[in-house]
Every structure is written in C-alpha cells, then in structure tokens.
Amino acid sequence: MEGEVVIGPHMYEPDASDEEVNDVAGNVEIVTSVRLNVDCLREWCVCFNCQTMSTARECVCCAEIPEVVAKIAEAHMTNVKCITDHPGMQAVCLDPWGLQVAWFAYRQQYRGNAFEGPMHAKYRHIAYRQLVRWCFGYLGRDTRVVLPACAVSCIRAHFPPQNEEPCLFKGFQPAAHQQLPHLN
C-alpha cells in the first residue's frame, strides 16, 4: 500500500564503520589460522577427540554444535564428553549391518541418483547421513550441516579408503544455494 511503512530487522541500527568491518575480517582470519593449526587444536576442541580437518569451517568440535550437545546429554552418563563416546554412535553410525540397511533405504529413496562406489566409501557416506539424521533429524532437501571433526575422524577411521585409492576426502560441501554462517 502506498504510504505504508515497512519495518525491517536492524533497520534502525547504525552501519558498521570501516574500522569495525576490518576488525571482524581480522578476527575471522585469526580464527581460521587457529583452527587449521595442529598445535592450536586444544583451543577449539574440548572433547579431546577432534583432528584438524582440511578447512577451518570443518574444524568444529561436537561441544560447539547445540544439536550434538543435546544428543550427548541424552546418554545420561557423566563420562560421555564426546559424541564418539555416546553409546548410540556405534549402533547408528559405525555398525556395518545397520549401515547396510540404511544404504538400502537410501538407494530406494534416491534410485538412480544414489551414491555409488566401493563399500567402505558407501559406509562412510551413509554413516555421515546417519549422524545427521540422529543428531539433527530431518533437514530437508539440499540442506547441509557441518559435522563435528571428532565424528568425521571416527567414521573415517572405521571405514578408511583401501590401499589402491588416494586418501583424499571431499570434506564439507554446502548446497549451491545454501548460505552458511561464519565461524565464531
């Protein structure tokens, strides 16, 4: 309507100065360098099971993701400090028989678009999907989340590439249209 005033979020907040913008950019660079530095692993990993991943975005501890922290709390055990120590991790993400069943369901759902490859690669792929479903529930098509470095490392250790394959992992890949938040 003509003359109607539309109020938007943060509409009346002052714009950031160039100095404030540069400070934020500098902090992002510092966080990135800390997360990728093996010697600084304990500055961001509190579960003591993480490994440095190939990008700073993937260097996230299970204790930094609220949905994963909630899943850890469901264990009602004081000695579970990491999602990889949760009693459900083995059954949901690491058990080959359970992953086989999950693979058949995945293949049925995606038919011709289902991931194909060697069995250990399928198990890794399905284990990551199972971890997402277990911790986050249903996300919707093309919605992706960064998984904790400890869980990714655990899954990779259980289903490593075979000797003849190069040991290069794709890592996190957002959907083409997905905007992701920056690291804190």
Return the closest-CA partner of residue 35 out of 49, 56, 63. 56
Residue 54 has what pLDDT?
84
C-beta neighbour count of 34 within 10 angstroms: 16
The tens digit of pLDDT for each residue in 89-109 reads 999 999 999 999 998 898 888
pLDDT at residue 10, as a whole number? 43
Q: Is the pLDDT of residue 149 over 70?
A: yes
- For residue 49, pLDDT over 70 is answered with yes
* pLDDT of 20 above 60: no
The pLDDT mean for the chain works out to: 77
- Distance from C-alpha of 71 to C-alpha of 36, rounded to nearest angstrom: 26
